[in-house]
Amino acid sequence: MKPLGPIIIEEGIIQKPDKLRTTVRAVIVNDKHQILMVYSKLYNDYTFPGGGLKEDEDKTKALKRELREELGARKISILKNLGYIEEIKYGLFDQSSIYLQTSIYYLVRIESLGKQRLEYREKVHGIKPTWKNVVEVIEHNQSVMNDTNHTAYGLKTVLMREQIVLEKIKEMDL
């Protein structure tokens, strides 16, 4: 597995991480060369579908579970491991914990989208699967990166991470 970019360190962190977190994320491309992103109405941003592994959960099972929940995805095929990004970041909205988060990205094919099965937090965020052009996503996320939503503890690195992966995808011409 190869790194997709450098380690991203949230501004102000000087101590070592005390917690580890692994996430899995899907890169899904259609025949129009659009990517399937999850749009958050609350944060006004686009992120790759996916999420964290539960305890003792296999990466491929976790990714398929997340795609069924967030997208209502059917007939999920994991085609290829694209690589990973590491972040050193605070816990959400506070500085009591520091995480080393490894986000692993996979090229995935799905047959169709169906009914989402969102968790409470995802409902609050107002997430919706959306097909978008890679360049449009990069430009939009860049325009909101420094707003109050994206400068809160634990959230500062999210769009930095996604922008790195989006740029790689643009280069790969998937």
pLDDT for position 93: 66
pLDDT for position 173: 73
Q: How far apart are CA 153 and CA 95, in angstroms?
A: 7
Q: How far apart are CA 64 and CA 81, in angstroms?
A: 14
What does the DSSP assignment read for 4-63? SSPPEE-TT--SPPSEEEEEEEEEEB-TTSEEEEEEETTTTEEE-SEEEPPTT--HHHHH
pLDDT for position 96: 86
pLDDT for position 172: 87
Structure tokens at 76: 């999920």
Q: Which domains does the chain have, with CATH numbers?
A: 8-172 (3.90.79.10)
pLDDT for position 42: 96
pLDDT along the chain (174 residues), means of 10: 94 92 97 96 98 94 97 96 96 85 98 95 96 97 94 91 96 81
pLDDT single digits (tens) 27-50: 999 999 999 999 999 999 999 999
